[in-house]
Structure formats: structure tokens, C-alpha cells
Chains A and B, each alone.
Chain A
Amino acid sequence: MTRTQAFTERSSRSETLVSVRGVDKQYGNGTVAISGIDLEVKTGEFVSLVGPSGCGKSTLLRIIAGLGEATTGEVLVDGAAPGDAQTRGQSSFVFQEATLLPWRPVRQNVELPLELMNVPRIQWAERVGEALHMVGLSNFAGAYPRELSGGMKMRVSIARALVTKPRLLLMDEPFGALDEITRQRLNDDLMRVKEITGATVIFVTHNVFEAVFLSSRIVVMSVRPGRILEQIAVDTPYPRSSDYRTSAAFTKDAGVVMKLLAHTH
């Protein structure tokens, strides 16, 4: 890379939120999970990662979150290394399971990030209220996780991710364990949340329809070691209503992604 290139890229970082360059990841046991990953995500994009099981989607997401280290290559989130103290709280992670603390009621579960980041206590109530309102759980602030359904737990998990007002939302198959109806409802809600917050989202899923419904771009990965095979732009503008699911454009894009996925095996 020449100097001029590096300069132009850094000056355009207001546009680029996440930049992944030449990232490989080899685990301690020798497994090469991903190899040669280059990915740029711009502010406001909704990027889905799809690919066969074990191709390194979670690995890539964890590296972008700063939870894991790349073996080679470079990752920048808003121009800084992920997990940097100065950018802490700019990224949130939603796991496949709700990962709530069972001994805390909903409100205190959502408060957790504020607590850990030493946000002044007077702001908590308002922030938690906003986050719970966004996921439609205002009436359940006092409930314990065991009193909630799977979908509601996932909403709490999303509220917890939103409470820090992150610029980047990383979601690893958040709706994988839910039934189809609940999944679609949560997809609709996520769409709304994205409109309100303007967050940039990187979203891992196995479900092609979900990917097409939510994404502005779909990244298809190959079998292990995971590489990026193809990137598909989904052009239908936001906000997308549930009618979009039955449109011709939707069916066409889903077909394209499915065909690509079939070739990965």
C-alpha cells in the first residue's frame, strides 16, 4: 500500500466505520477459521454475513468486537483498534442466546453496560427506559428473565445492547433459536430500531430470507477456512415494511443468495 492510498483512506473514515484488511485467524489448536478477509462497512449500512456452519462468521464478528485477536491483518472500528478504551461502548454485541443475568430483573440487566462503563447513575433510568421502549418491553422492567419467553429475552438482550447508544451493533444469529413468527416480528422491530438509532449493523444469520429482509448488503462466505465469496447489494430502500417480504424484488434477491450458498458446499 502506498502512502497516498493510506492517506486517502484515513481521510475518508467518516464514511467507513469498520475496516477489515487481510485478516486471518488461526486458533491455538491449529484450526484456521478465516483467511484473507477484506471487508469495509460504511456508517448506516446493514451488512449480513451468511455462510455454511463453521466458516468463521462468529470468529470474524468477535474480532470486530475486540473480543478476539486476528492472527494477521488489521481491523479498525472508527479508526481505532476494536476494544480500545476510547472507543469502548461504541460497539455492542448480541449473542445467539440472550445471555441475561438470571438473578437480575430486566431493568438491572439492561443497566449492566452503563454500570460497567461508569455512566453517571442519574442517566440510567432515562436510558434504560428508552431502550426498553424501543424493544416494546416497557411493562416488563421488573420481571425476571425466567418469567419471559424466548423472544422477550432476546428483546431484553437487544435493549441491553442499545442502552449504550452504540454506533455499531454486532449480532451473532440473534434470532436463530426463535420460531418463524417471532423471528419475523423481531426482524420488523429491528428494522424500526435501526431507523430510530441510525446504528450500523453487522448481522450473522443462517436464514436467507432474514438476511434479504434486513440487509443493505449480504456477504457470502465459503466453507472453512472462511473467505468472502461474493457480496450482494440489496437495493430496496429503507424503511422496509413487512409487505416487502412478499414482493418480487425480495424473492429475486433471496434466490440469488440461495444459489450462491448452494455452491459453497
Chain B
Amino acid sequence: MTESTPKPVTIAVPRELKAPAWLERFFPPLASFVLFIAVWQGIILAAQLKPYVLPGPLAVIGAVVDNRSSLGESALFTFQASFVAFLVVMVLGTVIAFVLASSKFIEKAFYPYAVMLQSTPVIAIAPIIIIWFGFGFTSIVTISVIIAIFAVVANTTQGLISVENNLQNLFKLYGATKPQTLLKLRLPFALPFMVTGWRIAAAQVVIGVIVGEYMAGAGGGGMGGLGLIIAETSARLQTAYLFAAALCAALLGIGFFLVVNLFGHLLLKNWHESAIQFEN
């Protein structure tokens, strides 16, 4: 590229007229957050609720601080399990999607079972998995994978089979080989679909791990993850601690989703219209 880019022209806007961009962006969610906390505390005061029914925001923060080391260890475990489950979901889900999309027959033969597996409640499958793999990491990851893999399979398959007819004709016209068509047409065409699948899976994988830990978590020292803390504290009515664990789980889930979201965005940047804000 030799042509020089023209210098952007900056237009001076009087300071006091324009709020800083970060304020405009963060003020609304911040305001609703403060309101939420206030209503929460207000309900407790007004209804005279017992702490084991609904602890106040301060009590929850207190529980986070008091249990920070065990919460930290558990969150790390949950993160590791989520990470492993996510990798398995990405690789296995993509491979399955490619197999499904490779022929109409295979798709018709197997897709209904994928839907069936997706519709079966984990509660029904989890005991079998625990019989096979015992309590702990393997079962937790397996449960999470079963919950999250469908999003990747479904979206990737959809992307691979919805390539525009005439684009395929174009490749056929010039005698493109199967690998050429896959790499230069089907894969890039499917990418936005795939990223959508990853985003959904990123959120579901953390949920899946928490559910898995709840049912198949075992061992002390954080080796049962946040899900096990949730299971134990609810049994003991340690409600503030329970809320603290749930808060950590939520933050972990959001963080995981945001990272995958950012990764997807970078991948699609300058590539696909879906990633670019439409300019009128």
C-alpha cells in the first residue's frame, strides 16, 4: 500500500457540551446497579427478612471477604474446568459439525439425535456420567460439554450448509478442489455462524461446570469448585456465603463470555459485515 492516508480532521466541540465517552457508556449500567442494591437493601429493611432468607448486600460482601481463600481456590477450579470444557466443545463440536455438513445423508441421519441429546435434561444424564467417571473433574467437564456443545454443532453446521448457491457454482466453474472450497469458501463463510456458537457456548460452559460441580463435585480445598460450595452452603443455610459463591460464578461467567466475545470480534474484524457497525 503506497497511497498515504489523509490526516483525520478533528472538529473542536466545546468541552462543557459533550460528556466524556466513558461516562456516557458506563453511567447507565452503574446507575441501575446502585438502584438495584438500594432496592435490595430496602426490601430487607421493609419486610424484616431474616438473613438466611435474604442476606443484605453488605453481608454478601462480608461473606466474600471472609471466605476469600476458599472462594478463590474454587473459582480457579471452576475456571479450569470451564476452560477445558470450552476447548473440548470447540474442537469436538466443530469436528461433529463438519461431519454433519459433509453430506445431506449424514446430516439427516444424525442431526435429530443431536437435538434429542440437547433436549434431554442433564439431571437425567448426570448419574450415568458419575457412574462412569466417578465424582470430580472428568464428570464435571463431561456434563458441561454435553450442555454446551450443541450451540457449536448447530451454528457451525448451519454456517457450513448455508453457503450461497452461486458462490459454490463459482468455485465449481473454476474447478476448485474440495479442500480449496472448504478453506476459501465454506470455512470463512461459516465463521460468523461459528463465532455465534462460541459465544453461546462460552456462557453455557460455565453454567454447565457449575451444574456439574453441584452434582458431581468432590473433595476439599476447592476441588469441587463454586458449584460444590453452592450445594454445601445451601444445605447448611449459609445463605450469605451461598450468595457470595453465586456472585463469583456470575462474574466468572460474564468474564468468560466477554473474553470469547472479544476474540470473536477480533477474528471477524475487517472480514465480515456482522462484526462491523453499519455506517449509513
User: Which A residues are closer than 8 A to B by beta carbons?
Assistant: 62, 65-67, 83, 85, 88-89, 91-93, 95, 97, 99, 101-103, 112-113, 115-117, 142, 144, 146, 164
Please name all residues of chain B whose beta carbon is closer than 8 Å to the beta carbon of A146 when the two chains form the complex: 273, 276
The bracket for how many chain B residues form the interface is: 20 to 34
Residue of B1, B167, B171, B173 contacting most chain A CB atoms (<10 Å): B173
Which residues of the partner chain B approach A113 to less than 8 Å between Cβ atoms?
A: 174
**Whole-angstrom CA separation of A75 from B123 in the bound complex:** 62
A93 touching B170 by the CB < 8 A rule? yes
Q: Select the residue from A65, A66, A92, A99 with max chain B CB neighbours within 10 A.
A: A99
CA distance A92 to B175 in the complex (A): 12
Closest Cβ–Cβ distance, residue A98 to chain B (whole Å): 10
- Cβ of B164 within 8 Å of any chain A Cβ, yes or no, is yes
Among B174, B191, B273, contact of A116 (Cβ-Cβ < 8 Å):
B174
Main secondary structure of the interface of B (DSSP, over half): helix
Kindly list chain B residues whose C-beta atoms are within 8 Å of the C-beta of A93.
169-170, 173
What are the 3 tightest A-B residue pairs by CB atom distance, in nearest-first order? A116-B174, A103-B271, A95-B166
Docked complex: B158-196 residues within 8 A CB-CB of A: 164, 166-167, 169-176, 180, 184-185, 188, 191
Contact B273 A67, beta carbon cutoff 8 Å = no
Residue of A nearest to B1 (CB): A142
Do B170 and A99 touch (CB < 8 A)? yes
Find B185's partner among A62, A89, A91, A101 (CB 8 Å cutoff).
A101
B272 touches A103 (CB 8 A): yes
Closest B residue, CB atoms, query A82: B173
B181-221 vs A, CB cutoff 8 Å, 1 = contact: the mask equals 00011001001000000000000000000000000000000
Most buried by A among B184, B185, B191, B272: B184
Chain A hits for B175, CB < 8 A: 85, 88, 116-117
Pair B174/A88 contact, Cβ less than 8 Å:
yes
In the complex, what residues of A have CB within 8 A of residue B271's CB? 102-103
Given contacts A99-B164, A99-B166, A102-B272, contact A117 B188 (CB under 8 A): no
Residues of A within 8 A of B173 (CB): 65-67, 83, 91-93
Roughly how many angstroms separate A67 CA and B174 CA in the complex, as a whole number? 10
- Bound CA span A83–B173, Å: 7
| Bound CA span A116–B181, Å | 9
- Neighbouring A residues of B276 by C-beta, 8 Å: 146
Report the Cα distance A146→B170, complex, angstroms. Answer: 20
The chain A residue sitting closest to B276, CB to CB, is: A146
B4 to chain A, nearest CB (A): 13
Tell me the complex Cα distance, A102–B274, Å.
11
The residues of B that contact A116 with a CB separation of less than 8 Å are 171, 174-176, 180, 184
Enumerate chain B residues within 8 angstroms of A144, measured Cβ to Cβ: 270
Q: Given contacts A88-B174, A103-B271, A142-B1, are A115 and B169 in contact (CB under 8 A)?
A: no
CB distance from B7 to the nearest CB of A (A): 19
CA of A58 to CA of B1, assembled, Å: 40
**Closest chain A residue, CB of each to CB of B175:** A88
Residue of A nearest to B167 (CB): A99
- Which residues of B lie under 8 Å from residue A62 when comparing CB positions? 169
Please give, as numbers and ranges, the residues of chain B lying within 8 Å of A85 by CB-CB distance: 175
Complex: chain A residue closest to B172, CB-CB: A67
Q: Which residues of B contact A117 (CB under 8 A)?
A: 174-175
Please measure, in the bound complex, the distance between the C-alpha atom of A99 and the C-alpha atom of B180, giving whole angstroms: 17
Task: With both chains docked as a complex, state the minimum distance between the C-beta of B100 and any C-beta of chain A, in angstroms.
Answer: 23
Q: Are the CB atoms of B174 and A89 closer together than 8 Å?
A: yes
- B residues within 8 A CB of A97? 166
A99 to B163, CA, bound (A): 11
Q: Are B164 and A102 in contact (CB under 8 A)?
A: no
- B184 interface neighbour in A67, A91, A115, A142, Cβ under 8 Å: A115
Besides A116-B174, A146-B276, 10 other A-B contacts (C-beta < 8 A): A67-B172, A67-B173, A91-B173, A95-B166, A103-B191, A112-B174, A112-B184, A116-B176, A142-B1, A144-B270
Chain B min CB distance to A130 (Å): 18
CB distance from B236 to the nearest CB of A (A): 54
In the bound complex, residues from chain A placing their C-beta under 8 Å from that of B176 are 116
Who on chain A is nearest to B164 by CB?
A99
Q: Which residues of B contact A83 (CB under 8 A)?
A: 172-173
Chain B hits for A101, CB < 8 A: 167, 184-185, 188
Within 8 Å CB of A102, what residues of B? 271-273
Q: Which residues of chain B have C-beta atoms less than 8 A from A112's C-beta?
A: 170, 174, 184
A88 CA to B170 CA, complexed, in Å: 12
A80 to B175, CA, bound (A): 16
A117 to B174, CA, bound (A): 6
A115 to B184, CA, bound (A): 10
